[in-house]
Amino acid sequence: MISWLQPWQRSPGAVGPVCCNAASVNLLNLKEASKAFGDRVILDSVTAGVDAGDTIGLIGENGAGKSTLLKIIAGLEELDQGDLIIRTELNVAYVAQEPELRAGATAREILTEPLADVIDAIARYERLAAACDPEADGALETIEALGGWEWEHRLERAALTTGVAELDAPVARLSGGERKRLALARMLLGKERADAQRRPTLVLLDEPTNHLDAATVEWLERWVAEQALAAIVVTHDRYFLDAAANRMLEVREGGLRAYQGGFTAYLEARAAQEEQSARTRRRRLGVLKSELEWAKRSPKARTSKSKARLAGVDALASEVKELQQRQDQAKFKFGNSPRLGKTILEMQGVSKRFSEDLPLIDGFNLILRRGDRIGIVGPNGSGKSTLLRLIAGLEEPDSGTVRLGANTKLAYFDQHRSVLDDHATVRDIVSPEGGDYVFVGGTEKLHVATWLDTFAFRRDVHRMPVGRLSGGERNRLAIARFLLEPANVLLLDEPTNDLDIYTLATLEQALVGFPGCVLAVSHDRYFLDKVATAVLAFERDLTERLAEITLVEGDYTTYRRLRLAELEQRAEARANQRRAAGSASRQAGERRGTAVSPTGEPGKKLTWTENNEFEGLEPKIEVLELAIDQLETAVGAAEVWMGDGAEGRALTDALDLKRAELEALMGRWEELAERAEL
């Protein structure tokens, strides 16, 4: 049931394990809320509240109900029991884990949805102006009140900020990651509505960082932290949670447990709780041992009191067994990997391109040494996955050599989890030949059910089709299959997507303890800081328009400190050069006392219309430069040249058009700059 709070009301149900700041404006409350799917309880009589200004990190194991809770708040799921109490003026923006976008639309059309009011106002003004209707003046005032004529610039800026490269691409052709970026751009435009009554006051983000590069993730965490709105974010990105969240909510065993602060504060509080639980468990184990010893000594004939006591022993034994199973879940371990030889992996002069424009990898060299764990970072489509495919032998280099040592055994965890067959059962994936046992690392023999239990797959799920699993469950299953490989060099492409925080932590521990080598493509900065001994960064220099691949010893934080600062300085230097050129043109005009047109004829000062045009050119030039950067990256992606290469050719044509448009704008900017401020 949904109830509505008047602006002056505060729900009497906002008490219990999850509390709000009494000084804040209350936005919504769950009161005695319950939700279950069959015998799986998501919420069990939960009372909770959200206040204005809250940025809540929502965490929990895969399948605990995080996405369901967001859908309930967004009005897409119904509670089984209890109330959802919402303020009347609350506007909710929801970005789902798998966004639903209007079928048949293009990316540009999706992004015009939050701008429909100003677009309609402009169309109305144009109709009235064409008819010389006196109401045109009023329509013009409406346009200015809604943000003026810059809506296209706002749309393009939002698209480029979130990495939406192809605005005219049909939604049906977009990948899951591209759809997520598009949904984020739409949310961003909604927040910028001129009509304050329609701006979102609560943002719900379900795994927003999946498929985003590190730079975009950092922008998003700053945006969430700085906006004057409430947010609930489901994410496994622990740095994101520390940077943006001021409260943490954990979905656990049907309840919501609240913690003040970000992820680090949550860890400290949970550690204290677990320590207390461990002491309690040790005491209960002592009681259990005492009771079991009593049961063994007692005669077979039991009194009713003795039978009751034995029933208590059984219950306690079951409880301790359940605690032990929960503790054993998701303990990843690698089998005995083959011993590495002197030569592990050598790449010399390796180049790869999928178009005639930009090389994706150009003259790349790498020697892998024992104990190396290399994190691979860079924008989407920059060549990271291609590098892993070259090492795995799934792609051939255009030039150069890829040499594996005689003892090198590779295991490849691909980004698309191609090992998963939606029609196969969970059990079939880890045991494709149908046996009852698996061999971890090719050596240690374990029962299939025991191995799946390790990855938190309940026995009733073992025969379930893979197609019915959630994203996180699919990833856990792919990892369960991957860890059976007898390998000493692991190639992992985005292994952290959709994993819960607890599973991530155990995966990280396993990789750190792995005796072989690891190359992992990931945008998860926390993961890279824990696992990587070096960072291999794919970067593109926009001046030389060549791919750069830089190896920096150390973790991601070290890389960012040493390398990204240098790249930011380059970008700032280019911006300063453009500003200096404009200033020089204006000073030259001032010295001459008059403006000269490109043809050599005396010019005139800028008119009011030209001055407005001039002021708007620099933002448009910046947008075009970003668009060209995005298209250059897209053209270099391997997948767009597969098949007949039609997509790659279309992107190349779009890139040529953008470059021509930029050249024309720069020419116009230089012409107006000569005449400005005379």
Residue 319 pLDDT > 70: no
Any idea which of 239-253, 427-441, 592-606 has the lowest mean pLDDT? 592-606
| Mean pLDDT of the 44-52 span | 91
Distance of CA 353 to the CA centre of its chain: 27
Strand (E) or helix (H) holding 41: strand 40-51
Of 149, 216, 213, 211, the residue nearest 188 (C-alpha): 216
- Residue 255 backbone phi and psi in degrees, to 5: -120, 170
Give the pLDDT confidence of 616-665 residue by residue, as tens digits.
777 778 777 777 777 777 776 666 666 666 677 777 777 777 777 787 77
Distance of CA 402 to the CA centre of its chain: 32
pLDDT at site 483: 81
Q: What is the three-class DSSP state of 4?
A: strand
As beta bridge partners, residue 3 has 85
* Tokens coding 634: 């897209």
Residue 346 pLDDT > 60: yes
Q: Higher confidence at residue 639 or residue 365?
A: 365
Name the DSSP letter for residue 106: B
34 dihedral zone (left: phi>0; alpha: psi -120 to 50; beta): beta
How many helices (H) and strands (E) are present in the chain, helices listed first? 20, 21
Q: What is the three-class DSSP state of 204?
A: strand
Q: What is the three-class DSSP state of 327?
A: helix
pLDDT at site 543: 43
Of 398, 635, 674, 619, the residue nearest 540 (C-alpha): 635
* Residue 84, CA distances (Å) to 70, 73, 96 in order: 12, 8, 20
Task: Assess contact for 546 and 362: CB atoms under 8 A.
Answer: yes
CATH topology of domain 345-564: Rossmann fold (3.40.50)
Name the DSSP letter for residue 638: G
CA angle 476, 479, 482 (to 5 degrees): 155
pLDDT at site 42: 87
Q: What's the rounded Cα separation, in Å, for the pair 382 and 519?
A: 16
First to last CA, the chain: 67
Res. 6 pLDDT band, cuts 50 70 90: very low
Give the pLDDT confidence of 416-425 residue by residue, as tens digits.
788 889 999 9
Strand (E) or helix (H) holding 497: none
pLDDT at site 576: 67
* Residue 243, CA distances (Å) to 93, 264, 265 in order: 21, 10, 12
pLDDT at site 596: 42
pLDDT at site 105: 92
CA angle 490, 494, 495 (to 5 degrees): 60
- Lookup result for tokens 């209960």: 284
pLDDT at site 5: 41
| Mean pLDDT of the 600-618 span | 62
Residue type, 89: E
164 dihedral zone (left: phi>0; alpha: psi -120 to 50; beta): beta
Res. 364 pLDDT band, cuts 50 70 90: very high
Q: Higher confidence at residue 44 or residue 598?
A: 44
Q: Higher confidence at residue 153 or residue 315?
A: 153
Any idea which of 97-111, 191-205, 644-658 has the lowest mean pLDDT? 644-658
| Mean pLDDT of the 229-252 span | 92
As beta bridge partners, residue 234 has 58, 206
For the entire predicted model, the pTM comes to 0.71
Q: Is the dihedral of CA 453, 458, 462, 468 positive or negative?
A: negative
Name the DSSP letter for residue 22: T
Q: What is the three-class DSSP state of 254?
A: coil
Give the pLDDT confidence of 580-603 residue by residue, as tens digits.
655 555 555 455 444 444 444 444
Q: Cβ neighbours of residue 357 under 8 Å, at least 6 residues apart?
A: 632, 635, 636, 652, 655
Mean pLDDT across the chain, nearest whole number? 79
- Lookup result for tokens 């005491």: 283
Residue 33 pLDDT > 70: yes
Task: Assess contact for 271 and 107: CB atoms under 8 A.
Answer: no
Give the pLDDT confidence of 480-525 residue by residue, as tens digits.
888 888 889 999 998 888 788 878 887 888 888 888 999 999 989 9
Sort 118 into a burial class: Cβ within 10 Å, 0-12 / 13-18 / 19+.
buried
Residue 55 pLDDT > 90: yes
- Lookup result for tokens 């390398």: 563
Res. 677 pLDDT band, cuts 50 70 90: low
Of 30, 57, 150, 162, the residue nearest 107 (C-alpha): 162
Sort 44 into a burial class: Cβ within 10 Å, 0-12 / 13-18 / 19+.
middle
* Tokens coding 292: 């079991």
Give the pLDDT confidence of 385-418 residue by residue, as tens digits.
999 999 999 999 999 999 999 999 999 998 778 8
Q: What is the three-class DSSP state of 172?
A: helix
Res. 13 pLDDT band, cuts 50 70 90: very low
pLDDT above 70 as % of the chain = 75
CATH topology of domain 1-90+203-261: Rossmann fold (3.40.50)
pLDDT at site 636: 65
Cα Rg of the chain (Å, integer) = 30
Of 643, 636, 565, 644, the residue nearest 362 (C-alpha): 636
- Lookup result for tokens 């061999």: 439
Residue 571 pLDDT > 90: no
Question: In this structure, how many other beta carbons lie within 10 angstroms of the beta carbon of residue 329?
Answer: 15
Could you write out the DSSP letters of every residue in 448-470? Answer: HHHHHHHTT--GGGTTSBGGGS-
Of 243, 294, 168, 298, the residue nearest 650 (C-alpha): 168
Of 631, 496, 578, the residue nearest 210 (C-alpha): 496
Which residue spans within 114-269 are E strands per DSSP?
202-206, 230-234, 247-252, 255-260
Strand (E) or helix (H) holding 186: helix 176-191
- Lookup result for tokens 């083959």: 338
Question: In this structure, how many other beta carbons lie within 10 angstroms of the beta carbon of residue 259?
Answer: 21
| Mean pLDDT of the 263-288 span | 78
Residue 2 pLDDT > 50: no
Task: Assess contact for 589 and 677: CB atoms under 8 A.
Answer: yes
